[in-house]
């Protein structure tokens, strides 16, 4: 096993997280702004989660053909749930008094959203992104069955050839990656929360 | 509907096998998780070390676990069930533990004041109060397990994964859907069932609180 496979896996994870934030954040905000559609949105991202990862990738492969884009779009659909859910709930949980104060100062809805509500909800949103990232590291193993490479390749190869060393080396790299992402993002979140606190007081 | 004429019987069998894997492994996982969660909540100082270790363990993909167990146990249903049960444990364990720890001390003191033994307190006060959290964990585990059970087909043990694997290998979207749709339906159906269970189990007084 060489470093390029780890980098390939890392690439899949990072691209997935970027795309799922780009897609998930606006959906979460919209779900928050339009309570009528909220239930439907949250319900549909939950339904997406119930489709087995392998089947989801298998269906996308038919539309997009094998390759990295297939894997990334499948993984994006899979990581929407924590991001959309946490964005919506985080915005909802912002103290009503603060929202009212923003209104009282004459801020428009967009202003309030950008300069008051999203910053206050950010720790919760970031937690959603963290959960999505760590889960993606694991689910990305399936990438190999649709031609996306990554650490799954090593693991599958190990299982097929009954080579325990190969399985273990693939798995350990995977675990290390997941834990590093987790620890790093918890640290970033704490730093951000601290920074916001200092600015406010 | 030529598809159902050809595959109907196999689909029903696969659905049954899949459901069997899910139900047995979630039941086993639930029993282990509940006991472990209760034990850990008695010793929070150790749990603070054990829980993060378990969550690291959780990052091992299911496929690895099934793969390794397969090498040692061989191609038997027990391989799949034990691997799935292990994965079902963690969400329930975590929710049981946090649910029990989040209970206000007053309630436990009150139970003590009423002359309840620690065991009675656990059974009559703590577990009912933690039940919303425990059931939420059970729901999460069940949905995941339905999805992970697809891997049974990887080692030739049937279930709905069979259709998905064959579909991917032969580029046949009908077969993939024939595996994916029933398993999504199963996940949704079981989670609705658990919602009903929650209504029965959660005590009246805290039902309004989510």
Which CATH number is B130's domain given? Answer: 1.10.3720.10
Please give the radius of gyration of chain A, using alpha carbons only, rounded to the nearest integer. Answer: 19
**Disruptive mutation site among B14, B53, B59, B151 for chain A (greatest number of A CBs within 10 Å):** B59
Is A64 at the interface with chain B, CB within 8 A?
no
Nearest CA in chain B to A179: B56
Q: Test B167 with A58 for CB contact under 8 angstroms.
A: yes
Quote helix, strand, coil % in chain B, to nearest 5. Answer: 85, 0, 15
For the segment B172-201, the average pLDDT, to the nearest whole number, is: 88
What domain range is A173 assigned to?
3-200
Q: What is the DSSP letter of A194?
A: H
CA separation for the pair B139, A21 (Å, rounded): 26
B35-92 pLDDT, tens digit per residue, is: 999 999 888 888 888 888 888 877 777 778 888 888 888 888 888 899 899 989 988 9
Q: Is residue B69 assigned to a domain?
A: yes
Q: Is residue B2 assigned to a domain?
A: no
pLDDT averaged per 10 residues, chain A (length 201): 84 93 93 88 84 83 82 90 91 88 88 88 91 89 82 85 86 88 90 66 46
CA separation for the pair B56, B51 (Å, rounded): 9
Is A184 at the interface with chain B, CB within 8 A?
no
pLDDT value of residue A27: 92
Collect all residues of chain A within an 8 Å Cβ-Cβ radius of residue B177.
Answer: 59
pLDDT value of residue A201: 46
B174 to chain A nearest CA, in Å?
9
CATH number at residue A161: 1.10.3720.10
Longest dimension (CA), chain A: 68
CA separation for the pair A19, A107 (Å, rounded): 30
Quote helix, strand, coil % in chain A, to nearest 5. Answer: 90, 0, 10
A125 to chain B nearest CA, in Å?
20
Collect all residues of chain B within an 8 Å Cβ-Cβ radius of residue A148.
Answer: none
**Tokens found for residue A109:** 């809805």
Nearest CA in chain A to B176: A55
Q: Test B173 with A171 for CB contact under 8 angstroms.
A: no
How many domains in chain B? 1
pLDDT value of residue B210: 45
Q: Test A137 with B59 for CB contact under 8 angstroms.
A: yes
pLDDT value of residue B208: 58
Phi, psi (5° rounding) for residue A180?
Answer: -60, -45
Q: Is residue B102 assigned to a domain?
A: yes
Is residue A162 classed exposed, middle or buried when 0-12, 13-18 and 19+ CB atoms within 10 A define those classes? exposed
Q: Test B180 with A61 for CB contact under 8 angstroms.
A: no
| Whether the predicted pLDDT of B128 surpasses 60 | yes
pLDDT value of residue A197: 58
For the segment B159-165, the average pLDDT, to the nearest whole number, is: 88
Collect all residues of chain B within an 8 Å Cβ-Cβ radius of residue A81.
Answer: none
How many domains in chain A? 1
Q: Is residue B36 assigned to a domain?
A: yes
Nearest CA in chain B to A159: B67
**Disruptive mutation site among B168, B173, B174 for chain A (greatest number of A CBs within 10 Å):** B168
**Tokens found for residue A161:** 């050839």
What domain range is B68 assigned to?
12-206
Q: Is the ipTM of this complex over 0.85?
A: no
Q: Test B164 with A55 for CB contact under 8 angstroms.
A: yes
pLDDT-wise least confident of A53-62, B107-116, B138-147, B161-170: A53-62
Q: Return the residue matching tokens 């049981």.
A: B96
């Amino acid at each position: 096993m060489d470093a390029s496979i780890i980098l390939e896996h890392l690439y899949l994870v990072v691209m997935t997280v970027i795309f799922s934030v780009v897609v998930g954040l606006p959906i979460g905000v919209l779900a928050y702004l339009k309570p009528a559609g909220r239930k439907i949105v949250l319900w549909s991202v939950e339904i997406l989660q119930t489709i087995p990862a392998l089947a989801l990738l298998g269906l996308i492969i038919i539309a997009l053909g094998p390759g990295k884009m297939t894997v990334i779009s499948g993984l994006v659909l899979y990581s929407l749930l924590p991001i959309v859910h946490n964005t919506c709930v985080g915005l909802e949980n912002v103290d009503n008094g603060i929202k009212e104060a923003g209104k009282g100062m004459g801020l428009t809805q967009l202003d309030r959203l950008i300069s008051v509500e999203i910053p206050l909800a950010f720790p919760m949103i970031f937690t959603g992104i963290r959960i999505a990232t760590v889960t993606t590291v694991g689910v990305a193993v399936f990438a190999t069955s649709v031609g996306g490479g990554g650490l799954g390749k090593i693991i599958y190869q190990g299982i097929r050839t009954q080579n325990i060393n190969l399985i273990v080396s693939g798995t350990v790299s995977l675990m290390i990656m997941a834990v590093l992402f987790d620890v790093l993002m918890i640290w970033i979140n704490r730093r951000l929360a601290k920074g916001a606190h200092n600015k406010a007081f | 509907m030529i598809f159902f004429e050809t595959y109907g019987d196999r689909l029903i069998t696969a659905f049954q096998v899949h459901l069997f894997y899910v139900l047995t492994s979630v039941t086993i996982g639930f029993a282990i998780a509940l006991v472990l969660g209760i034990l850990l909540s008695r010793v929070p100082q150790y749990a603070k070390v054990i829980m993060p270790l378990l969550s690291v363990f959780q990052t091992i993909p299911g496929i690895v676990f099934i793969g390794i167990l397969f090498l040692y146990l061989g191609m038997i249903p027990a391989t799949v069930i034990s691997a799935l049960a292990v994965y079902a444990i963690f969400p329930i364990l975590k929710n049981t533990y946090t649910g029990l720890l989040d209970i206000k001390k007053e309630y436990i003191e009150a139970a003590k004041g009423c002359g309840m033994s620690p065991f009675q307190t656990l059974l009559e006060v703590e577990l009912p109060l933690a039940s919303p959290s425990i059931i939420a964990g059970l729901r999460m585990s069940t949905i995941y397990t339905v999805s992970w059970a697809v891997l049974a087909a990887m080692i030739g043990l049937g279930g709905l994964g069979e259709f998905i694997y064959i579909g991917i290998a032969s580029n046949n979207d009908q077969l993939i859907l024939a595996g994916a749709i029933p398993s999504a339906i199963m996940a949704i159906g079981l989670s609705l069932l658990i919602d009903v269970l929650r209504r029965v189990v959660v005590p009246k007084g805290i039902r309004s609180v989510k």
